[in-house]
A and B are shown apart, each in its own frame.
Chain A
Amino acid sequence: ETGVTQTPRHLVMGMTNKKSLKCEQHLGHNAMYWYKQSAKKPLELMFVYNFKEQTENNSVPSRFSPECPNSSHLFLHLHTLQPEDSALYLCASSQAGTGNYGYTFGSGTRLTVV
């Protein structure tokens, strides 16, 4: 496996369900991110983890709960979501602090809340 891997690729869940999105990076990066991509909107930053510590929470509702157990893995736990939470959820990683600030993105999880 190379790059950034996200699972599952597609997820349909009811508003009362609990599910988790998983992200794994194989690049040796030290920072990981969750972004939300909705139609006709720019990518919205949700959470930033730097060396496993959460450094940003961009006013995200508590029904989204991130977890970063180590620098290679990132989870997004979902519960009691709303239909407007349906979107493409993208994970990314970068090597912060080296002068190369570009992100590598995963392919995303397409989430549909019914």
Chain B
Amino acid sequence: EDQVTQSPEALRLQEGESSSLNCSYTVSGLRGLFWYRQDPGKGPEFLFTLYSAGEEKEKERLKATLTKKESFLHITAPKPEDSATYLCAVQATGSGYALNFGKGTSLLVTP
């Protein structure tokens, strides 16, 4: 059975204090790994898709990396507006197009 585990559950950072969020996954065959950002009261907003081990993608202060067992979302010099819940999801080959989500990491960046 596909499993997605995110850690930590919650993370508090000072503005400018870089850190990483982890997403460990178990899947029979990976079609893609997805990162989303979710603000309170809103739907998840797409950030990145990673398809194969070794792949990296960047957007502003965020960088996502992928290995065969886990993905990291690196946040460099975060700002308070980066505060949100970050969700990781995997899509398995042969599972149609369904995404299997982790519980998320709630990030708070204080000034």
Contact = CB atoms under 8 A, between A and B. Distances in A.
A107 B101 contact: no
A43 interface: yes
A107 to B, nearest CB: 5
B40 to A, nearest CB: 10
Contact of A105 (B4, B43, B103): B43
A43 B103 CA distance: 7
A106 B96 contact: no
B97 A43 contact: no
Interface residues of A, number: 28
B25 to A, nearest CB: 12
Contacts, number: 62
Interface residues of B, number: 24
A62 interface: no
Interface in A98-114: 100-108, 110
B103 A48 contact: no
Interface of A: 4, 6, 31, 33, 40-43, 45, 48, 50, 55-56, 58, 90, 92, 94, 96, 100-108, 110
Given A56-B98, A101-B34, A104-B46, 9 more contacts: A4-B43, A43-B44, A55-B96, A56-B96, A100-B49, A101-B32, A103-B34, A103-B99, A105-B36
